[in-house]
Homo-oligomer: A and B are copies of this chain.
Amino acid sequence: MTDSTHRLEELRWPDVEQYLETRASPTVIVPIGSTEQHGPHLPLAVDAFQARDLAEEIAVATDVLTAPLIPYGDANHHLEFPGTVSLSTETVVAVLEDVYASLAGHGFENIITVNGHRIANLPAIETAMQQSTERHPEVSFAAIDPLRLGISVHERLRDGDPEDGMHGGEFETSYMLARYPELVDEEAFVKESHETAPYQTVNLIGNDDRVLTPSTAHSPEDGDLGHVGDPTLAAPEKGEELWAELVADAAEFVESLGAADSEAADE
Contacts and interface: CB of A to CB of B under 8 A. Distances in A.
B76 A68 contact: no
Contacts of A186: 1
Contacts of A106: 82-84
A95 B72 contact: yes
A249 B87 contact: no
Interface string A145-163: 1001101000000000000
Contacts of A85: 8, 67-68, 98-99, 102-103
Interface of A: 1-2, 7-17, 20, 35, 37-45, 48, 67-72, 74, 76-77, 79, 81-91, 94-95, 98-99, 102-103, 105-107, 120, 122-127, 129-134, 137, 140-145, 148-149, 151, 182-186, 188, 197-199, 206-217, 220, 226, 249, 252-253, 256-257, 260
A92 B17 CA distance: 26
Contact of A256 (B72, B74, B88, B198): B198
A35 B127 contact: no
Pairs A-B, 9 closest by C-beta atoms: A9-B45, A16-B83, A68-B71, A198-B256, A16-B82, A13-B37, A133-B214, A143-B212, A123-B126
Nearest to A207: B207
Contacts of A37: 12-13
Contacts of A211: 142-144, 148-149, 253
B83 A183 contact: no
Nearest to A85: B102
Contacts of A197: 260
Contact of A8 (B44, B142, B216): B44
Contacts of A126: 122-123, 212, 214
Contacts of A1: 182-186
A40 B16 CA distance: 11
A74 to B, nearest CB: 8
Given A9-B45, A43-B11, A208-B206, A98 B127 contact: no
Contacts of A214: 126, 129-130, 132-133, 141
Contacts of A208: 151, 206-207
B207 A13 contact: no
Given A1-B183, A134-B217, 12 more contacts: A9-B45, A13-B37, A13-B83, A13-B226, A17-B83, A35-B68, A79-B105, A91-B98, A120-B130, A140-B213, A197-B260, A211-B253
Given A99-B85, A127-B123, A214-B129, A253 B199 contact: yes
